[in-house]
């Protein structure tokens, strides 16, 4: 171990610190902090036990009973770790086309330290699966993989946060100002109930670490695409298509006009995409259609692009082909883009340095390649760094029989998360 290792964290109990592991192949790297690494090894089996407990509670995004049950388990675990814990029922719900009448709860836990830095960790406890599917995908271990319903997306993230906090408690490390945890139950339906809370709580944080899975290679992500949806509705007037078509207002004609004049709103060279993908028109061959609807998928790399797109859509519908037609357009921001910042790059660079202590490479992806994340809601109003992908490596999210996490990533990821909290608490990433 380097000679300064004993003074890296003055709150450590030096008599507990053991000799660091030697990394013969990585002589240029700092050695891992031995006490942290040893604890990470000791937490591997408890984390797997936690994963088993989480997987065995079915918690689909619209399964309020299951979400209430898993929220109680998660809340109890953080209470046992000494946190100030609340189970929050969403009150400010952003209603989208598929938002259920009732949205699942969130668990918020706060741990107070003696420092000044505010650090937040987020994950979600809901899944895409329906009640009854657990019997076909129970928790099981096969070699270096742990399988289970929702294990990769994102019950591993919940478990990783629980055991990162447990490690910090065992280390008696409290150099942070506050350590805040927020676990929501509606991520898979675009977080209609949690988004405002995530944004509000994250606003004054110095760092936000999001524990979605690290893919198959453990990469950290600083940018993701935003996901939006547009809904176009045209109300016309029906009439007999053969005898009196002139008495009608053809909603199909107006819808076609609107779609054609919106085809140039996409700017793929800038990452802004608007593609009309679904349409519902007409009832009978011989009836002028009185109602026509269409839906579009939208993607963006910048928050400002979605704002501009919404304005452009509203302007376009004012130009009608048929004056008597009624045209309405609604735009949903299902997830804003997550944009890389100097602050997030600094946090990710720290993560790379910590992984080097284990002799492990780490990619940092700062160009959006798709998908969406709750981390984007956290980034909307904060000046702190926001990093996604802190969770375990795995594969098979949203599949019906092959979702797993890689067991051999538990120790490195726990070491990474714990060390990042420690270093960030002491201002080692600006």
Active site residues: 126, 187
- Over its C-alpha atoms, the chain yields an Rg (Å, rounded) of 25
Helix axes 34-55, 156-170, angle to 10 degrees: 140
Write the DSSP string, 18-75.
Answer: PPPPP-GGGTTSPPP-HHHHHHHHHHHHHHHHHHHHHHTS--BTT-HHHHHHHHHHHH
SS3 content of the chain, % helix, strand, coil (to 5): 35, 25, 40
Q: How many CA atoms lie within 13 A of 331 on its CB side?
A: 21
Residues paired with residue 314 on neighbouring β-strands, in sequence order:
none
How far out from the chain centre does Cα 375 lie? 5
Task: Give the number of other CB atoms < 10 A from CB of residue 95.
Answer: 12
* Tokens (6 digits) for 361: 């490479």
* Cα distance between residue 96 and residue 99, in whole Å: 5
């Amino acid at each position: 171990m380097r000679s300064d290792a004993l003074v890296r964290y003055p709150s450590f109990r030096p008599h507990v610190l053991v000799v660091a592991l030697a990394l013969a192949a990585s002589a240029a790297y700092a050695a891992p902090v031995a006490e942290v690494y040893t604890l990470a090894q000791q937490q591997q089996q408890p984390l797997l036990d936690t994963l088993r407990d989480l997987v065995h509670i079915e918690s689909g995004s619209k399964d309020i009973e299951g979400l209430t049950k898993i929220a109680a388990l998660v809340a109890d675990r953080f209470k046992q770790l000494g946190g100030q814990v609340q189970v929050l029922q969403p009150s400010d719900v952003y209603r989208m086309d598929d938002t259920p009448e009732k949205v699942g709860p969130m668990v918020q836990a706060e741990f107070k330290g003696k420092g000044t830095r505010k650090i937040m960790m987020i994950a979600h406890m809901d899944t895409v699966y329906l009640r009854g599917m657990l019997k076909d995908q129970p928790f099981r271990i096969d070699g270096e993989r742990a399988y289970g319903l929702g294990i990769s997306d994102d019950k591993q993230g919940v478990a990783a946060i629980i055991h990162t906090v447990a490690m910090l408690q065992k280390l008696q490390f409290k150099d942070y100002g506050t350590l805040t945890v927020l676990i929501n139950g509606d991520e898979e339906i675009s977080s209609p109930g949690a988004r405002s809370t995530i944004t509000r709580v994250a606003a004054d944080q110095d760092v936000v670490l999001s524990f979605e899975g690290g893919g198959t290679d453990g990469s950290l992500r600083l940018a993701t695409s935003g996901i939006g949806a547009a809904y176009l509705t045209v109300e016309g007037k029906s009439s007999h298509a053969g005898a009196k078509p002139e008495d009608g207002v053809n909603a199909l004609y107006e819808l076609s006009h609107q779609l054609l004049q919106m085809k140039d709103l996409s700017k793929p060279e800038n990452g802004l995409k608007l593609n009309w993908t679904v349409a519902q028109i007409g009832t009978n061959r011989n009836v002028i259609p009185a109602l026509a609807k269409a839906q579009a998928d939208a993607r963006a790399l910048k928050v400002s692009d979605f704002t501009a797109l919404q304005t452009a859509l509203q302007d376009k519908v004012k130009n009608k082909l048929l004056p008597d037609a009624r045209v309405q357009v609604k735009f949903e921001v299902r997830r804003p883009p997550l944009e890389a910042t100097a602050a997030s790059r600094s946090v990710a660079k720290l993560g790379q340095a910590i992984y080097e202590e284990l002799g492990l490479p780490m990619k940092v992806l700062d160009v959006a390649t798709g998908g969406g994340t709750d981390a984007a809601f956290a980034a909307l109003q904060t000046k702190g760094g926001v990093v996604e992908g802190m969770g375990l490596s795995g594969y098979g999210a949203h599949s019906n029989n092959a979702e797993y996490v890689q067991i051999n990533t538990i120790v490195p990821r726990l070491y990474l998360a714990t060390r990042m909290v420690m270093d960030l608490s002491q201002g080692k990433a600006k």
